Structure formats: C-alpha cells, structure tokens
Amino acid sequence: MSHADLPGACDAIDAALGVSPPALMQLMRTRRSIRSYTDEPVSHDDLKTLLQAAVYAPSGHNDQAWQFIVIRGREKLLGLANAVTGFMESLLTQLANPAGRDALAKLLPPTMVKHLEEMMPSFRLIVESQHAGADIIFRGAPALIAIHTPRGLGTGTEDAHYAAGNIMLVAHAMGLGTCLIGFLVGPARHSPQIAATIGIPPENEIGTALVVGHPKHRYRRIVPRRQPPVKWV
C-alpha cells in the first residue's frame, strides 16, 4: 500500500514539529510525580488534549480498548477519598483479627495477604491523615483520570499504563503535574461500590488512575536515577 492509498482521515505529519532526541530526553528526565497542587482547575480543553495523547499509546493487539473517566472538582474527589478510606479501615479491621485474616486467605493468594499485612502502617497513616483533613490520597488535585478496560483483556493493565504514560509526558510539556494513584487501584478492583462510585461498569476493571493539576512548586534540577542493571548479550 502506498501513501496515496491511505484513508483521507489520516493526518499529514508536520515535519516542522519534530522533537529532537535531547529535547525529548529532557522532557522525560524532568517529569516528576507531583503531590502538591494549586486550587486552579484544569481546563476542559487541556483535559481533552491529555486524553487525545493517551489514545496514541501502544496497546496489545492494537485493541485500543481503554476507556476513560474524568472526575473534576475537589468535592467529588473528597467523596471518593472517603470511600477509599472506609475500605482501608475495613481492611485494617480484618487484618487485625485472626478470623479476618483467615477469611482473606481464602480469597487471596498468600503473597497478596502478606503484602497487605506489610502495607498496614501505610493504610493507618492514610486513614488517620484523611480523618484529620489532609488529602494524601489525591493530594489536593482538582482532577482525576481513571483508565479502565474490559475484564479478561490480556493486556488491559499494561495498556492502561501505556496510556497513562502518554498523559504524564504531555501534561508535563503543558506545564501540568500528574501523579499515579496506586492507593485507588486496589480498592477499585476489590470493591464494586468504589468502582461504581468512580463510574466503572461491572464488565470492566480499573487499570490505573492518575491525578492532574497545576503544580504548586516548580523544580529547577533533575533528580538522579539509579543506573539500571543491564545484561548485554
């Protein structure tokens, strides 16, 4: 097939907008997980731009099966944070009780139960902080993007993270900040009520979620990273 045979809906590539490898590398190196935001909301147009970037991520078998839910406004996010806090309180009660741990062991793999036990101090900190009025789940961000895919999709979780990666890079280029919210994903996968609060239908499951907002602080230095262990063959 030649370029002339491609559908007319395909946009032409603007060579003048090409990104140099050093510029792209700096964008990637300066992206940070932002955990402190101003009160300024993210505009509808900016959120649409981020979602447009998301769908250009790779996906398994080119399924492009991701779906997005955008939650805007602190009151809505506070309600969701309270639901997550309640889930964590219930989980802490179960883990602190031998009968509760036995019940979890019948539902979850042993490695998952062990992981939950190791996370108990973090869960307690989150519960105490949320009750004290500090939002350490959504970090005071004005918007959240949840990415979900059909259950049983072989690469659903991976696809969701690829899409989130595009969102994070383009948001950074736009002067916005993002942060993946792992403390939402587990509760949304194991609590139908929380999934419904987000707006995820029963036939789908959450892949990942991230907050978006205007960073309260700007960074002027690039933080170092550990060198990756590499085996050259």
DSSP annotation string for 45-90: HHHHHHHHHHTTS--GGG----EEEEEESHHHHHHHHHHHHHHHHH
Q: What is the CATH number of domain 34-74+139-213?
A: 3.40.109.10
CB 131 within 8 A of CB 85: yes
Name the token pair of 187: 């509760």
149-173 pLDDT, tens digit each: 999 999 999 999 999 999 999 999 9
Share of the chain above pLDDT 70, in %: 97
Least reliable range by pLDDT among 8-22, 63-77, 147-161, 205-219: 8-22
Task: Note the pLDDT of residue 11.
Answer: 87
Angstrom distances, CA of residue 228 to CA of 81, 166, 231: 35, 22, 10
Query: Is the pLDDT assigned to residue 118 strictly greater than 60?
Result: yes
Enter the pTM of the model.
0.92
Rounded CA-CA distance 185/211 in Å is 13
| CA nearest neighbour of 46 among 140, 167, 224, 151 | 167
85-110 pLDDT, tens digit each: 999 999 999 998 888 888 888 888 88
H or E stretch at 207: strand 204-213
Angstrom distances, CA of residue 217 to CA of 1, 33, 176, 214: 50, 12, 11, 9
CB 43 within 8 A of CB 143: no
Look up residue 17 and give its DSSP letter: G
Domain-by-domain residue ranges, the chain? 34-74+139-213, 77-131
